[in-house]
Amino acid sequence: MKTLKFLFDRNQGWADAIKKDNPHFFSQLSAQQTPDYLWIGCSDSRVPANQIVDLPPGEVFVHRNIANVVVHTDLNCLSVVQFAVEVLKVKHIIICGHYGCGGIKASLDQKAHGLIDNWLRHIQDVSRFHQKELSLLNDEDRINRLCELNVIEQVKNVGNSSVVQNAWKRDAELSLHGWIYSIENGMLKDLDMCIETAEALDKKCRL
């Protein structure tokens, strides 16, 4: 008897439905993956990468962590970025945050949360960079603006990584994007962080 049998039943139904539509789907997919997109998003269960942009398996390479943070010492995230850029040769890296992010809220609430507080320090750094703007907002607006600012800062972080900088040096076609998702209405918003060159990144970082 399998544990969590109902999930295996759901898996069977899902695979059957896809094969009914395209009998060769899984055999073709098993031969190779050629995704154009690397998605770096929040671990929140309500923000599933493929479903939000309505893309099937094989189209999006995904890394998720609490509050979609790119840290220059995080070997897990950087390895994903390296593999995506240098081996899979993705053309786009999307950093996608979401409004009402629990990680962002926790970073602002001055309470102790255990081990995760070390991770949330990275978001508190973002708050510090933008303290003046954030201090003018009410609590709800401050959380949501920090969700946006965190995406913007993480786009800069991934752009300044050696992997992305080296890709641009060899003229690889690689764009960065900063998006934010609303759990309340299912819609994505573009935060105008589409960056295609090291020079464009420098310009954004100086603004």
Q: What is the contact surface with Zn ion in residues (CB under 5 A)?
A: 42, 44, 101
Marked catalytic residue, from 63, 77, 96, 101: 101
Active-site residue 113, yes or no?
no
Q: Which strands form 37-42's sheet, in the order they lie side by side?
A: 60-65, 37-42, 92-98, 175-181, 188-190
Marked catalytic residue, from 9, 10, 16, 46: 46
Active-site residue 44, yes or no?
yes
Marked catalytic residue, from 63, 98, 122, 142: 98
- CB of 72 vs Zn ion, minimal distance in Å: 21
Pairing mode of beta strands 175-181, 188-190: antiparallel
Structure tokens at 35: 């995704």
Active-site residue 147, yes or no?
no
* Residue closer to Zn ion (CB basis): 47 or 167: 47
- CB of 147 vs Zn ion, minimal distance in Å: 8
Marked catalytic residue, from 42, 77, 96, 147: 42
Active-site residue 101, yes or no?
yes
CA atoms within 13 A on the CB side of 129: 16
Active-site residue 54, yes or no?
no
* Residue closer to Zn ion (CB basis): 67 or 158: 67
CB burial of residue 13 (10 Å; 0-12, 13-18, 19+) = exposed
- CB of 66 vs Zn ion, minimal distance in Å: 7
- Which residues contact residue 196 at a Cβ distance below 8 angstroms, ignoring those fewer than 6 apart? 174, 175, 176
* Residue closer to Zn ion (CB basis): 44 or 148: 44
Packing angle, helices 198-206 and 139-159, rounded to 10: 150
The total number of residues shown for the chain amounts to: 207
Structure tokens at 176: 């960065």
- CB of 101 vs Zn ion, minimal distance in Å: 3
* Residue closer to Zn ion (CB basis): 67 or 167: 67
SS3 of residue 170 by DSSP: coil
Residues known to be catalytic = 42, 44, 46, 98, 101
